[in-house]
Structure 1
């Protein structure tokens, strides 16, 4: 309970004492007898749609890792003002236009009404640190034309040296001081976006009124309402977000070098596949080719149509050189469509011009359009019969060679760049294999046609089964990131494109620079993350499985070498689900 957090006798509740909680530029608060209503607004994702770590950019553990207060020397996502200042196009551009599009406009209108109501006190109450955020938040609300009587941020210690076990504890101590000071107020209304915190406030007011009625009354009961606000999840530009996180890491590593405890960190990437990546616009067009059963529900399907697979792993440089390197463009023409066992929908394509070199580990170049639940993209390679595309649906599209990746934050390690692509160190490839070691025959036949179909100019291994690539339905675990590098089940957040379960506000965090921007590859693309489909493996499980299979393959090669046999890459395949 809030009343139990101060040691010794309760301090006097005066306007002067209450004003010590505020960073607003007000010398005096309204007189006690003039205020009948108290309106209290939360900031993050209630009044302002603050950016959250992007689940399309970071893996699950890192989403929680970023939001923990105990990992980085600067405190992480919610405690470094550079993250909030980077919202939109940054402070310099956003302040003149009042961060247009980033506010919850309905709540902002309510603040305006509170300002106009003469017997109302308007309060902004946020768990953002009083040490790092006052000037930025004051600039933001001022640009929007919002004038609060009190702007209260979480201090290291309260005006009477109160210590807070959590942000919720801080808010409750403040609210009690607010109600005890404005004893003439008959009503208090709190606006909050989190269901958990809404309940916490309601319980707090219930207990407070019980004391006023049957316990030790100090001011009489008050009508309390906690308004649940629909939250809005937003993200920074991916390049900006990566750069800001890199600066946080740089500052942390600098502090570590100066004697602070804890490991040094770095950003690494996990590559799930390399392919000819397709734009969202062309993906939408390609999906029209998938003739799905009318009775099939969207929840039974996984929609892809986002790449022509090159390889389901990081691509070796020699292969990249053959396809023009990262960022190179290839134009494709759709030549046919097919359905495999009523659970895989795919489109066959060919390059324009047909003589253009390409590489794919599928029997023929194709785009996996959609999968029924439980189906695997790899089985698209079993398709034998392709139906011609009707003239009205024939079209061409452009692709860009790139990777599908997630970034992750891990302690620095003595490893090669290739080894760093894999998060599970116990299953890491210790040496990058020779580009053609799995199939020496590839080396001398870059223009050899596939036995599956005539494809002039195609450079393809002839595996026994193809891979349709991976699409955009990788789910994320519900991490809360309460500390360290793992998170523990959270609630879904978001609007529009879909929420995610890794959101952690300041209320979840227990007590406990500058720098150059990182290298950013424009050819890197990031997946969408619809709700988790349990039959699919997590990205981490996929990478681990690939390496287990690779180790088995290496053991087989060693066994064949010991017996004097050769090696054929088509005998063992890294399955890609």
Structure 2
């Protein structure tokens, strides 16, 4: 037929057997159960797992820079496959397998899809399938346990094998799923409809093209004697919501991936290819960090025009700048060191050319020592597109505030950082290091293990002063800075859509995360300007072109102001004792009349992505893992 969908299927299924029986079909499943008889089935319902049925955690863009997220998603970057190919990452969801399994990962499921699965079970003429591109060998037992704990019933649970039951050549996730769906439709030849629930836009389109090609082949009799008639196919795009691991757990798990990778390289013969990695950090600035509650209070003082769109303005109000990049020792001593607390009071507001909104502040008490990078201590509340933080220093006229707006708030000295994975050698600096940290660092100085952040230093002091309290309370970071300030951040991301951040799959990044910008896939990349990176998901294992995106993840000090939020950030999963994540809902559609009605009531348009996922946990204990 010439289309990509059919060509991929045809190439992958070249060795497929023509015998389609329930026995042959059952070989695709990791379940040991009898499939429903062929003549009983009139409908096929197929559900994807990651971010369709289950709110799978993504690499957190408030922890890692863009190239590192791409690297984690690339199955070729690490010996053991990385984020989507190491079952320990999925098992670490929530509070980990040991705690989550007894409570069925409560809060981590898309309950609307769960309801549709129950409806599929009640529909006696429907076969219900869970289909995922995760590897059968790596995830089969774990996913069976997760599904069983939730009480979900499937006729088949199929994960991607290295080779199909009939020696089909499995080159990537989409080829696997199309070979499987072809076998499923040919086996249940009396089925009149097939409904597929999928969150990724690329796969939604791929399935639609595939079903169109399948029906055209049946209509035109292109395969000799007809084996079945056409089938009414519908692919329902499920709106995904980004969720994240507890940041401390996430960094620990990534460190374990790196440790295993480096250990595997050590066992290879000398001269064999492979690069050892280490987690390092990029310091954007040092400042007096403001917690989330005070940020929200300060933002009420930002008198921004009402006609500005969300993309035209970014809200901040999260720090008083001390200096860009790491703080020199002399200045750091002057401000009291990392973790030092200080109180401030708002004295005035200003608007510079309708582009920068800020408040000036004074220390409390007025005799307290301080240092700022601006002529007067100030907090930038909001920046219009194109404006720069440094330009706030040009403000000359400040409007005094009334007593009811003279807010007092506490700050903590800390650094705003992102972590990155780089070669475990003398630092050559990736895009972050070269652009933002222009002075040289040795590997020891720049290694995250060797140079703890302010939060870590602060936490060490707290452990000495209050060891019992420290065991009971974990501070979670706000806005991605690791200063140990209170609060948490919202998490962006998601996976599968134009204009949305995406993290799952291997679209580039490779080993060369040295480049300034991500672009088309560069395999292992190089140290030049295009070393892959970025965080746009393509597939679990597909390495191909991807949407362009900048070298870094979004600047996570940008405060999502409530003016641009139509709904509250969900506060799940249902364990309020662990604030290191948020939950969320999802969307999808249904098969059968009852399911279609639910689809219309429950699922909005695919583009209406909801905020969620919980970004924000602190790294005050990250040093425990290094």
Same structural fold, with TM-score higher than 0.5 when normalized by the shorter chain: yes
Q: Which residue of 2 aligns with 1:274?
A: 286
From 44, 55, 75, the equivalent of 1:69 is: 75
Q: What is the correspondence of 1:456-471 to structure 2 with a 5 Å cutoff?
A: none
The offset of 1:325, in angstroms, is 2.1
Q: Which residue of 2 aligns with 1:317?
A: 329
Q: Which residue of 1 aligns with 2:232?
A: 223
From 82, 86, 89, the equivalent of 1:83 is: 89
Q: Which residue of 2 aligns with 1:5?
A: 12
Q: Which residue of 2 aligns with 1:235?
A: 244
**For the Cα contact (< 8 Å) 1:270–1:406, is it kept in 2?**
yes
The offset of 1:73, in angstroms, is 0.7
CA distance in 1, matches of 2:427, 2:15: 56
| Shift in CA distance, 200/298, structure 1 to aligned 2, threshold 3 Å | closer
Tell me, what secondary structure is at the counterpart of 1:358? Answer: coil
Q: Verify: 1:504 aligned to 2:537, yes or no.
A: yes
**For the Cα contact (< 8 Å) 1:475–1:530, is it kept in 2?**
no
Tell me, what secondary structure is at the counterpart of 2:114? Answer: helix
| Shift in CA distance, 158/186, structure 1 to aligned 2, threshold 3 Å | same
Q: Which residue of 1 aligns with 2:588?
A: none
CA distance in 2, matches of 1:369, 1:194: 36
Following superposition, which runs of at least 4 residues in structure 1 exceed 6 angstroms of deviation? 470-480
From 557, 561, 564, the equivalent of 1:527 is: 557
The offset of 1:302, in angstroms, is 2.1
**For the Cα contact (< 8 Å) 1:278–1:400, is it kept in 2?**
yes
From 108, 112, 115, the equivalent of 1:106 is: 112
**For the Cα contact (< 8 Å) 1:371–1:377, is it kept in 2?**
yes
Tell me, what secondary structure is at the counterpart of 1:245? Answer: helix
CA distance in 2, matches of 1:163, 1:311: 56
Q: Verify: 1:145 aligned to 2:151, yes or no.
A: yes
Unaligned runs of 5+ in 2: 1-5, 443-479, 482-488, 494-498, 522-532, 545-554, 562-626
| Shift in CA distance, 530/66, structure 1 to aligned 2, threshold 3 Å | farther
| Shift in CA distance, 238/9, structure 1 to aligned 2, threshold 3 Å | closer
CA distance in 2, matches of 1:37, 1:335: 68
Q: What is the correspondence of 1:334-349 to structure 2 with a 5 Å cutoff?
A: 334-349=346-361
CA distance in 1, matches of 2:147, 2:60: 25
Q: Verify: 1:430 aligned to 2:440, yes or no.
A: yes
Q: Which residue of 2 aligns with 1:328?
A: 340
CA distance in 1, matches of 2:48, 2:306: 46
Backbone CA RMSD of aligned residues = 3.1
Q: Which residue of 2 aligns with 1:540?
A: none
Tell me, what secondary structure is at the counterpart of 1:424? Answer: helix
The offset of 1:403, in angstroms, is 1.0
The offset of 1:109, in angstroms, is 0.6
Q: Which residue of 2 aligns with 1:546?
A: none
The offset of 1:233, in angstroms, is 1.7
CA distance in 2, matches of 1:10, 1:74: 32
| Shift in CA distance, 87/70, structure 1 to aligned 2, threshold 3 Å | same
CA distance in 2, matches of 1:76, 1:97: 27
From 135, 150, 153, the equivalent of 2:141 is: 135
The offset of 1:530, in angstroms, is 7.5
Unaligned runs of 5+ in 1: 433-469, 491-499, 512-524, 532-577
The offset of 1:385, in angstroms, is 2.4
**For the Cα contact (< 8 Å) 1:191–1:226, is it kept in 2?**
yes
Tell me, what secondary structure is at the counterpart of 1:30? Answer: coil
The offset of 1:427, in angstroms, is 8.2
Q: Which residue of 2 aligns with 1:351?
A: 363
Tell me, what secondary structure is at the counterpart of 1:246? Answer: helix
CA distance in 2, matches of 1:474, 1:130: 30
The offset of 1:178, in angstroms, is 0.9
**For the Cα contact (< 8 Å) 2:15–2:169, is it kept in 1?**
no
**For the Cα contact (< 8 Å) 2:243–2:491, is it kept in 1?**
no
Q: Which residue of 2 aligns with 1:385?
A: 397
Q: Verify: 1:488 aligned to 2:519, yes or no.
A: yes
Number of residue pairs matched by the alignment: 470
**For the Cα contact (< 8 Å) 1:308–1:365, is it kept in 2?**
yes
The offset of 1:373, in angstroms, is 2.3
What is the CA deviation profile of residues 340-370 of structure 1, one whole-angstrom value per residue up to 9, with x for unaligned ones?
A: 2332221111222222222212112111112
**For the Cα contact (< 8 Å) 2:52–2:198, is it kept in 1?**
yes
| Shift in CA distance, 505/242, structure 1 to aligned 2, threshold 3 Å | farther
Tell me, what secondary structure is at the counterpart of 2:170? Answer: coil
CA distance in 2, matches of 1:281, 1:405: 21
CA distance in 2, matches of 1:474, 1:363: 34
From 119, 128, 143, the equivalent of 2:125 is: 119
CA distance in 2, matches of 1:35, 1:473: 44
| Shift in CA distance, 526/370, structure 1 to aligned 2, threshold 3 Å | closer
The offset of 1:429, in angstroms, is 2.3
Farther off after superposition, 474-483 or 204-213: 474-483
CA distance in 2, matches of 1:251, 1:8: 36
The offset of 1:293, in angstroms, is 3.6
Question: Which one has a bigger Cα radius of gyration?
Answer: 1
**For the Cα contact (< 8 Å) 2:375–2:393, is it kept in 1?**
yes
| Shift in CA distance, 183/8, structure 1 to aligned 2, threshold 3 Å | same
**For the Cα contact (< 8 Å) 2:69–2:534, is it kept in 1?**
no
**For the Cα contact (< 8 Å) 1:406–1:526, is it kept in 2?**
no
CA distance in 1, matches of 2:16, 2:358: 73
TM norm structure 1:
0.75
